[in-house]
Structure 1
Amino acid sequence: MAVTVETLDKLERRITLSLPADVLRNEVDARLKKLARTVKVDGFRPGKVPMTVVAQRYGYSVQYEVVNDQVGQAFNKAAAEAQLRVAGQPRIAEKEGSSAEEGKLLFDATFEVYPQVVIGDLATAEIERVTAEVNEAAIDRTVEILRKQRRTFEQRAATEAAADGDRVTIDFEGKIDGVPFDGGKAEGYQFLLGEGQMLEAFEKAVRGMKTGESKTFPLKFPEDYHGKDVAGKEADFLVTLKKLEAQNLPEVNEEFVASLGLPESSIEALRADIKKNLEREVKFRVAGRNKAATMDALLKLAEFDVPKSLVAAETDRLVEGARADLKARGVKDADKAPIPAEMFQPQAERRVRLGLIVGELVRNNNLAAKPEQLQEHIAELSQSYEQPQQVVAWYMSDRQRMAEVEAVVIEGNVVDFVLSKAKVTDKGLGFEELMGQQG
C-alpha cells in the first residue's frame, strides 16, 4: 500500500500511520508475561504473581512502551517507502476519533524533511585569501615574553621614581562626587607600570612617584568601561606608593635556554623552536580566517529553507555548551542558569545551513576525509606536546574525538575545493595583525 505524504508547509510533512489493534495487544501480553517471571510483588513468590496483578500494576507503562516502539517502526518503514529524508524527530499524536474497537489505531506523524540544497556557480564567488609569515620580529617578541615570565624583582631606593617596567605596590581610594564606590579602594595592590594593567590615566599618575609619596588625581572612566556603575563618570583618586621594585630580566644565553627544557641549549635552537611553534599557530589561524571567508561566500551562493527542528536541536546544544562553560569557570548552579535560547538562534541557523551546504559539496565532489589526511592532521596537532605519540593514541582511542578530527579535515577539503573554483584575491597579513596584536 502506497504511503500518502501530506505537505503542510515548505519542509513540513504529515503521514498517517495505522497500527493493527490485535498486534499491539499481543505484544503487550507477551511483554507482561515476560515481566511476570521476574517482577517482585509483596505477598507473592517470584514468578507466581497473577497476571491480573501484573497487568494492573504495569499494564499502562508496558502499553505506552509498545505503542511507542510500534509507531516508531511504522514511521521508519513509511518514511523509507516514501523515500523521505527526515530531518529531526517526528511529532506523533493519536489521530482524533481513532479507536482500537475498529481493529486499528491511527496516528499522525508530523515531521520535516531535508531541503534540496542548490549551490550557485562557485566561479562567481569572491573570496579574500590571507597569508602570513613568521618574521624575526615575531621571534624576538616571543623571546621577550619568555624573559618576562622568568623575571625577578628587587626593591628600589626610596629616592628613585617609579618608571615603566617597575612593579609598584600601592594603596588607593576613589570617590565620585565625594562618595566612595564599589571596587574603588584597595590596599597593597600590585601592578606593573607600562604594561596596560591599569587605565592609562592611573598609570600616568603613578609614574614618577617615590616610595611613601601620596597624590590625588582625577580619572575619567571610559564610556565602555566594564564597571557599568562608574562607566563614563569622573572620579578623584588618592594613591600612596608603598613599595617600588625594579624588574630584572634574565639574559638570553645558554643557561636561560636550558631553563626552558629544550634538548639543545643554544640560542639558535631556541629561536628555531619558537619559529616552528609560531609557524604552526600561524598556519591554524590563517586556515581559520580563510575557512570563515569561504563559508561566508558559500552562504551567499545557496538559498534554501532550513528545517526548524535542526535549528532547535543545535540551539539546545549551544545553550548546554554555554552552561558547561559557566560550570567550568566555577559558576554556582550553572546547569540552572537562565540562558535565553534566542541568543543562540542566529548562530545555530548558520551552523545548520553551513552543515547542509558542506554535506552537499562533500557528497557531489568526493571530498570525504581520507585515512592519511586524518593521520596527518592528528600528527600535526600532537607536535605542540612533549609526548606526541601519547596525544596521537589519545585521539585514535576515542570515536568522538576522531569524528571531530574528521569534521575539521572535511571542512579543509571543502575550503580547498571552493578556493580552487572561486575568484580569489590574495592578501598578505603582518604577523601582529594576524595574531591580533596591532599597536
Structure 2
Amino acid sequence: MQVSVEAGEGLERRMKIDLPFEQVEVEVDKRLQKLARTVRLPGFRPGKVPMKVLRQRFAGQVHQEVFGEMVQSSYEDALTQASLRPAGMPRIEPEIDLDEKRLSYTAVFEVMPEFELASLAGKSLKRPLCELTDADLDAMVERLRVQRKTWTPVERPCQSGDQVTLSFTGTVDGEAFDGGSATGLTIELGASRMIPGFEEALIGASVGEQRTLDLTFPEDYQAAHLAGKPVRFEVTLDAVTEPALPAVDAEFAKAFGVEDGDLDRFLADVRANMERELKERLNARIKERVMDLLVEANPLDLPSALVENEMNAMAGKMAQSLGGAKLNLPPSLFEAGARRRVALGLILGKIVNEHSLKVDAGRVRDIIEQMASTYDQPQAVVDYYYSDRERLGAVEVVVLEDQIVELMMEQLTVEDETVDFAELTNPTPEL
C-alpha cells in the first residue's frame, strides 16, 4: 500500500492511497467463485454459470464492494503510516481504472493542529476577593421577600411597581396588526415588558380610565415589518394591585424549609447558601480569566469539522433548554462560542499531556459529597454519581480544569481585587 500526502489550505490534507491491484483481484475472484455456486441466471442451471458470464454481469459490483471494504480497512493504517491525526471524518474520492489496473482513493480531511504551548509567565491576572457582609445577607432576605410578594387591589392611580390589568388595541398607519391587541393582560409597571414608553405612559392612570399612547417600535424590534414604525395604542386600565411583602417571621422561615420556623436557623441557612455561591462564583471568575489568557496566548488554526460539531451541539442544547423546540438558528449565532470551546479543548488537552495531569479522585469525591450534603439522603446522591460513568465524568472534568487553573496560576502575576457580593452574583455586562 503506497501512501502520499499533500497539504491543502490551512489544516486540510489530501492523503492518496494506492491499493494493491493483485490483492483486490484475488478477493474479487474468490467472491465470484462463491457466487457461482448459488447464482441463478436464465439459460443456465444453478452452479453452471460460466465465469466469463459472471464477470460480465457481476464483476463491477463485486469490485465496488471489495474496494469499499479495502478503503475502510486501509484508512487507519494509512493514517498511522503518514503519522496524521484527523479532526473529523474524511471525504473519499475514489479512483478506479480496471483497464490500467489501478485502484486508489484520496481521503480529504483536516488534521489536528500542532502547536507549542505558550507560557503565561509575565502575564497578570486579577483575582477577585469578596467577604460576605451582614448587608449582603439583609439584601438577600429582601430578595427572598420580593420573590414571595403578593398583590393587593388598590383604589388609587397606578404607580411604578404596581401590577396592572389592561386591555389595548394597537394600530400602525391606522391598521390593526397581528399581536397588536390584548384583553386582560397583566403587567408589572417598571418591569420593561412592553415597548419603550408604554408602561411609563400609564403611570397615574386609574381603573376604568382610557389612554391613547403614541409610541414608536424600537429599530431592533423582533418583528422586522414593525421595527422603527410609529404605533398608536388605545389602552383601558381594568385593575390595579400593589405589592405586599411578607414579614420575616416563623411562617416565612417555614416557607424555605425550616420546619420549626426558627429565624436564626433560617438566616444561618441563607448565609451558608450565599457562602457556597460566593465560593463558586469566585472560582468561576478566576477560571474564566485564566481560560481567556490561555486562548489569547495560544492562537490556533481550528479544524472546521470540530467547530461545526460544537455549533450543532450548542444549538441542540439550546433547543433542549427550550423544551425541544424546533429552532432554525443560523450557525453564526454559536460560532464565537464554539470556536472558543474547541480552542480551549485543544489547549487544555495539551496541558494535561505535557504535565501528565491526572484527575484528583479525592477532590472529585469532596465535590460530590458537598453537593450531596444539601439533600435529605446524601449517600443516595453520592451513589447516583458513582453509578454512572457520564455523570461522574462531568465532575472529573470540572476537577481537572481546576487543577489546570492552579497550575497556570503559578506562572501568572496575581493581583487581588476586592468585589462586593452583589456585583459578583449580578455582574453588569461589559459593553
Q: Secondary structure at the match of 1:88?
A: coil
Map of 1:79 onto structure 2: 79
**Contact 2:2-2:18 within 8 A present in 1 as well:** no
Q: Partner of 1:44 in structure 2?
A: none
CA distance in 1, matches of 2:243, 2:182: 23
**Which residue number in structure 1 is paired with residue 43 of structure 2?**
none
Aligned position for 1:94: 94
Q: Percent identity?
A: 36
Q: Secondary structure at the match of 1:124?
A: coil
Q: Post-superposition shift, 1:253? A: 1.0
1:131 aligns with 2:129: yes
User: Residue deviations 1:343-391, cap 9 Å, x none?
Assistant: 5444433332222211111111233322223223333444555554444
Given residue 369 of structure 1, which amino acid in structure 2 is its aligned partner?
A: V
**Residue identity opposite 2:261 in structure 1:** S
Task: Tell me whether 1:396 sits opposite 2:389 in the alignment.
Answer: no
Q: 1:343 to 1:67 in 2, by over 3 A?
A: farther
Once the two structures are TM-superposed, the CA of residue 421 in structure 1 deviates from its matched residue by 0.7
- Partner amino acid, structure 1, of 2:290: T
Report if the CA contact (8 A) 1:311-1:349 is conserved: no
Q: Give the counterpart letter for 1:74 in structure 2.
A: S
Matches within 5 A, 1:35-434: 66-95=66-95, 98-99=97-98, 102=101, 105-156=103-154, 158=155, 160-176=156-172, 178-198=174-194, 201-262=197-258, 265-306=261-302, 310-323=303-316, 325-326=318-319, 329=322, 333-334=326-327, 337=328, 339-383=329-373, 387-434=377-424
In structure 2, C-alpha distance between the alignment counterparts of 1:368 and 1:435, rounded to whole Å: 32
How far the C-alpha of 1:206 sits from its partner, in A, is 2.9
Equivalence for 1:45? none
Q: CA 1:313/1:34 → structure 2, altered by over 3 Å: closer, same or farther?
A: farther
After superposition, the Cα gap between the structure-2 partners of 1:50 and 1:193, relative to the gap in structure 1 and judged at 3 Å, is: farther
CA distance in 1 between partners of 2:36 and 2:164 (Å): 78
Partners in 2 of 1:50 and 1:321 — Cα distance? 57
Alignment coverage as a number of residue pairs: 421
Cα distance in 2 for residues equivalent to 1:61 and 1:140 = 79
Structure 1 residues not aligned, in runs of 5+: 42-48
d(CA) in 2 for partners of 1:258 and 1:189?
Answer: 33
Kindly indicate whether the alpha-carbon contact (under 8 Å) linking 1:169 and 1:188 is maintained by their aligned counterparts in 2: yes
Distance 1:100 1:341, change over 3 A: farther
Contact 1:218–1:234 under 8 Å retained in 2: yes
**Contact preservation (8 Å) 2:87, 2:305:** no
Q: Which moved more, 1:268-277 or 1:390-399?
A: 390-399
Distance in 1 of aligned mates of 2:18 and 2:300: 33
> Per-residue deviation at 1:217?
4.1
Q: Distance in 1 between matches of 2:36 and 2:265?
A: 75
User: For the residues of structure 1 that align with 2:228 and 2:9, how far apart are their CA atoms?
Assistant: 51
Alpha carbon RMSD of aligned pairs, Å? 4.1
User: TM-score scaled to structure 1, two decimals?
Assistant: 0.78
Q: Is the 8 A contact 2:315 2:334 kept in 1?
A: no
Where does the alignment leave 5 or more consecutive residues of structure 2 unmatched? 41-45
Distance, in Å, in 2 between the alignment partners of 1:51 and 1:245 is 95
Given the two structures, how large is their TM-score scaled by the length of structure 2? 0.79
CA shift for structure 1 position 90: 3.5
